[in-house]
Structure formats: C-alpha cells, structure tokens
Amino acid sequence: MPGIVIVGAQWGDEGKGKITDLLAEHGDAVVRFQGGNNAGHTIVREGVEWKLHLIPSGILYPGKRCVIGNGVVIDPRVLIEELDALRARRVDVSGLRISSNAHLIMPYHLLLDSAGEAKLGSLQIGTTRRGIGPCYADKAARLGIRVQDLLDEKILKKKIMAAMEPKRLSLRPFEKDPKLDLHTMTEEYLTYGHRLEQHIADTSRLMWELLDRGEKVIFEGAQGAMLDIDHGTYPFVTSSNPLAGAACVGAGVGPKNIDEIWGISKAYTTRVGAGPFPSELHEEMGEAIRQRGGEFGTTTGRPRRTGWLDLVALRYAARLNTMTALVVTKLDVLSGFDRIQVCTSYRGAEGAQFDDFPYHQTVLHHTTPELTELRGWKEDLGECRTLSDLPEAAREYLLFISEQVGAPVTLIGVGPGREQVIWTDAGRETLIGRNGSAPA
C-alpha cells in the first residue's frame, strides 16, 4: 500500500509538476487532492513543454491511472479544454477519473472572485481569479454544485438556483450577464456533464482498491505549505490545505495509506500575489533571480516575487508535513553568484529573534531576515547527474539546507528537463528510488 505524497514546501511553483512526472514513471496512479486550476504545473520532456492546471502530472504516460480527487475544485470548461488540448497532442487521456464528489466552479464564482478582489482594493490577495475561494466557500456553506449533479438535470437546476439566490446582492452589478441566466447555465453545465461522464467515478473506492493491491499511488499537491488556509500567511493564502494531511481527505483514503512525504522547495524562494515574504529581494538581485529562473507565473503570467531561501519557513513546512524527503529544485539558477545568502531566522520589530515561524501575523509582517552567507559557484549545473559532478560550494549549500530542515535531500533539480536531476543515496533508499526511478 505505498502512498507517496508530493507537496509544495514554499509558496507554490516549486517544480511539483516536474517531480510528479518523474516519479510517476514508477507509480501506478497519480491523484490530485486539492486546489483547482489556480495551479500551473510545467513539465519539460525532450525540449517540449506541457502546462497542466487540473489534470494530474502523470497523464503523459499512456493509460496511466490519473485521478482528480474529491478535494479538488473543478472548472469543467477548463478541464474540457485541457483534455481537448492533450488529445490534440496525441496524449491518451483514457486513464483519467474524476471524483463524483468534487465541487464545480460556476460562472458566479469567477465573478465573485474578481469582484471580491476589486472591493479589497489595495488590500487584495492577488488571487488567480479562477473562482477558487468562492467555490470552496460554497462547499463549506453546503451550497456547492458537485460533479455528480451534472448527471441529473432537475437537481442541477435546483441547486444552481439555491446557490445563486444568496449572492444576489454581490452579483447585482452582473445581473444582466447572460452567463448568470439560470437556464443558460444549466444547459451549459449539462453539456459539460455529457462530455465528462465517461471519466466520472467513485475515486475514493478506486484509490482503496489500488492501495489494497499494493500499487503505488502518488498524491500530487498543488500550491504550497505557506499558502495553506489554516497554517499559511492568512489571509494571503489559497482556500484549501496544500499539506500532506489533506492528501487523505482530498483523495478519500486514510492516513495509514501514506508512506512517504516529499516536500519540494526551490533553492531560493518565490511568491506570486500579495502577502508577507520576509526574505524577499528587491532591485537588481531580485530581478537577476527572476530572469535567470524564468520566474513568471504558469497560470497568470505575473512576474513572481523572488528572494533568498527562507529556512524558517521551510522548517515550518517540514514540520507541518512531517516531510520524509526534501527535493531541492532549480539549484542551477543560483550559478554565477559570488555569495549566496539564506535566511536562518527572523528579527522582529522589537529585536526578538525568531527561529520558528511566528504565530502572530503582525509580528511576521514586521520581521526582517537574518541572513547567513555561503559560498557561491560559477559552473553551469545543467549537465550534472551525480552529487560529485556538482561544485563543492553547491554540495555545501545542499548539506546546509538539509541539516537546517532536518530532512534528507533525495533529489536535486539542475534544469527544467526531465533528465536534469541528481538522485542522492538517500533518494535511492526511498520507495520510489528503489523501484527503478533512481539510476543505479
């Protein structure tokens, strides 16, 4: 019953898609358990780029069982577009299964997301405006429309009517929008139901069957620990739990089904959208990392904010997830800096030192990073395939991170390509590494 969870250990965009695609080769199924098409996961195979928002990153293996779990919020229009785009590129999508219990993003969720941001003005969160927050809000308010509702016209219409009613006031500026017409919306969503019907299933049961047979299931997280609605930098977070604990609930399995938890972190930090970011860099250094790392959002194209690696936040993410393995991506991006800095603690406005993530938001907002300086390296890392291929300073950097975080580094990213990774001995010892993913 090996279950392996892959989660973002920062503010998202850590390279989860690439790592999931890599590990999926030796997994039997890949399941997404939270988030929606606010996610953007990029995979580069033989120079060809693939961008996925909703479909699990295992889809590029023909016939691989890929599951969109009950914890995901689905915009069916986007899902159908993504399926069509994959089919057009000759990808076999027959292995996709969608939970009948997953909630649907509706046209009014998109409008409410944008209207909410506009109302907040300078206090806005910087959401992806994909309707994620309003959809999860309706789920909690028990006003959500679920995938299974697409298969019953009467129920669908009734539920849409009930869900739209309490939003009348907020939606008043859009009341003439034809997308909000009950009949049109019902018809549109019924059409989506017909298109998706072949993929709809009881995915919790499917997961149980796979795990019971001893098959290897990879739980693919979206976003990252610091965007977690309970433990992240609230309110500048997403509306789900991108933590390993949520993998169980969002896929419909129990905690005993999880064997390994891999946290993915860049060798530095990025964040899209507003909110505290203690190790953020401005001006030349921040811009240099942005340009070298190609740090522009996969989903919205927004420039990502950049900064040094934040070990306070990373230790916090390791604890929240009980991380058993740490993957460090984009190490190649740091080549060429004379000195590299890492944030090892925060200094509060009143002079206190914080080794642990402060629990009070006001404190967090006013911290400055305490930086430790490490040696840089000049060499290009793109061709490195073993630890010994790396410059000594890069090895020192990884050792420092691993010791600070208290988790073994299993895999290191040295470029966007699928083959641009280094497996460490610790990686070879993992469930997936032993099974042939790691080169001998």
Q: Which residues bind ligand GDP (CB under 6 A)?
A: 8, 12-18, 40-42, 44, 298, 329-330, 332-333, 413-416
Dihedral sign for Cα atoms in the order 176, 181, 184, 188? positive
Cα separations in angstroms, 184 against 162, 179, 188, 189, 352: 16, 7, 6, 9, 58
222 near ligand IMO (CB under 6 A): yes
Q: How many CB atoms lie within 10 A of CB 116?
A: 17
Structure tokens at 156: 């669908």
Q: How far is the CB of 42 from Mg ion (least distance, A)?
A: 7
From the list ligand GDP, ligand IMO, Mg ion, none, which binds 263 (C-beta under 5 to 8 Å, kind-based)? Answer: none
- Do residues 203 and 67 touch, judged by C-beta distance below 8 A? yes
Q: Say how far apart CA 20 and CA 327 lie, in whole Å.
A: 11
- Do residues 66 and 29 touch, judged by C-beta distance below 8 A? yes
Q: Say how far apart CA 62 and CA 410 lie, in whole Å.
A: 27
Q: How far is the CB of 153 from ligand GDP (least distance, A)?
A: 36
Q: Of all residues in this chain, which one has the CB nearest to ligand IMO in the complex?
A: 273
Q: Of all residues in this chain, which one has the CB nearest to ligand GDP in the complex?
A: 413
Q: Which residues of 7-33 are buried (b: 16+ CB within 10 A; e: fewer)?
A: bbbbbbbbbbbbbbbbbbebbbbbbbb
Question: What's the gap between Cα 360 and its chain centre?
Answer: 25
Give me the 18-37 binding string for Mg ion, x by CB under 5 A, dash otherwise: --------------------
The one catalytic residue among 21, 41, 228, 310: 41
- Do residues 239 and 23 touch, judged by C-beta distance below 8 A? no
13 near ligand IMO (CB under 6 A): yes
- Do residues 343 and 312 touch, judged by C-beta distance below 8 A? yes
Reply yes or no on whether 338 is catalytic.
no
Question: Widest CA span of the chain, in angstroms?
Answer: 66
From the list ligand GDP, ligand IMO, Mg ion, none, which binds 272 (C-beta under 5 to 8 Å, kind-based)? Answer: ligand IMO
Q: How far is the CB of 53 from Mg ion (least distance, A)?
A: 9
Cα separations in angstroms, 354 against 363, 364, 368: 10, 10, 10
Q: Which residue, among 42, 31, 38, 25, has the nearest Cα to 5 in the 3D structure?
A: 31
Interacting residues with ligand IMO between 115 and 174 (CB under 6 A): 125-128, 130, 132-133
Q: How far is the CB of 304 from ligand GDP (least distance, A)?
A: 9
Q: Which is nearer to Mg ion, 34 or 298 (CB)?
A: 298
From the list ligand GDP, ligand IMO, Mg ion, none, which binds 228 (C-beta under 5 to 8 Å, kind-based)? Answer: none
Q: Which is nearer to ligand IMO, 77 or 428 (CB)?
A: 77
Q: How far is the CB of 90 from ligand GDP (least distance, A)?
A: 21
Q: Say how far apart CA 210 and CA 194 lie, in whole Å.
A: 27
Q: How far is the CB of 329 from ligand GDP (least distance, A)?
A: 4
Reply yes or no on whether 13 is catalytic.
yes
242 near Mg ion (CB under 5 A): no
Interacting residues with ligand IMO between 45 and 84 (CB under 6 A): none
40 near Mg ion (CB under 5 A): yes
Q: Which is nearer to ligand GDP, 193 or 416 (CB)?
A: 416
432 near ligand IMO (CB under 6 A): no
- Active site (catalytic) residues: 13, 41
Interacting residue ranges for Mg ion, rule: CB under 5 A: 13, 40, 298
